[in-house]
Amino acid sequence: PKLFVLGGGHIAKPLTEFAARVGFAVTVVDDRLSFANKERFPQAEQVICESFERCFDLLQFDPYTYVVIVTRGHRYDLDCLRQVVQRQWAYAGMIGSRRRVKGVKDQLLAEGFDPEVLAKVNAPIGLEIGAITPEEIAISILAQVIGYRRLKEPTLGRESEKIGWTEFDREVIEELSKNKDDRKALATVILTKGSVPRRAGAKMLIWPDGRILGSIGGGCSEGMIIRKALDVIAEGGCTIQRIDLTAEIAEEEGMGCGGMMKVLIESLGGQS
């Protein structure tokens, strides 16, 4: 999923780092070159130095886009939110005091923007966890974003229906694009039921020497997939393995309850 961070200040830095770690493709925008550069945001997929009025021509929004507005001032918040509410997104949030947020929303209401759309913007942003430091605030924001990604409604302290987004393992995809001729196997979770550590789409690469990249959930079940993958590398072709995580096995592997996974293992690269 895409995460657009509008503003490159002290909160954007840990937010970008943490978001990249959990699988977001992060784009950071700031109008100051000293704040919009890859040295400051090495984990970002893209860093754009452009005004907040013009940067939206460079951003591709869709219903799976997540947007965080953390600019340095009221005027820039207004520029950003004015553009954001005219586009599609899965989540939008804006930092600021309740007074500052109300001022921005009141201005956009006066300009004729839809109050229902404005009401969907999370402002003030983040979950209420008493965050103070930039890192803590970044965690509160990212937790809310993850809630929108994984749940229909982000909640604290109650169950909510999960949305079945597929997993996306960026490091594995990048490795596949770089080294196409290496002998290896690719394990992909193709179906899950019940409580499982990873969802459909999770990937893991296995090399003949036992090295791996990525994970399908760890534990004994992953070990079994690795052993089967070594056979697939040696013999070629592909196979589908079913993993039944009974309550007993799930407890041993640290999971709350049992479930089922089907994993496709396919041979890639040169032949043995």
Q: Which domains does the chain have, with CATH numbers?
A: 2-150 (3.40.50.720), 170-268 (no CATH)
Rg of the chain over Cα atoms, rounded to whole angstroms, equals: 22
Find out whether 49 and 27 touch, Cβ atoms under 8 Å.
no
Rounded to two decimals, the pTM is 0.64
Please report which confidence band the pLDDT of residue 175 belongs to, taking 50, 70 and 90 as the band edges.
confident
The span from the CA of 229 to the CA of 41, in Å, is 36
The span from the CA of 75 to the CA of 20, in Å, is 28
pLDDT at 166: 54
Kindly report, residue by residue over 198-230, the tens digit of the pLDDT: 788 889 999 999 899 888 877 778 888 999 999
Q: Which is more confident, 43 or 174?
A: 43
| In the chain, beta strands by DSSP E | 2-6, 25-30, 46-49, 65-69, 91-94, 184-194, 203-206, 212-214, 238-245, 259-268
pLDDT at 68: 96
pLDDT at 47: 96
The span from the CA of 124 to the CA of 49, in Å, is 25
Tokens matching residue 260:
């089922």
Distances (CA, A) of 108 to 77, 101, 144: 11, 11, 24
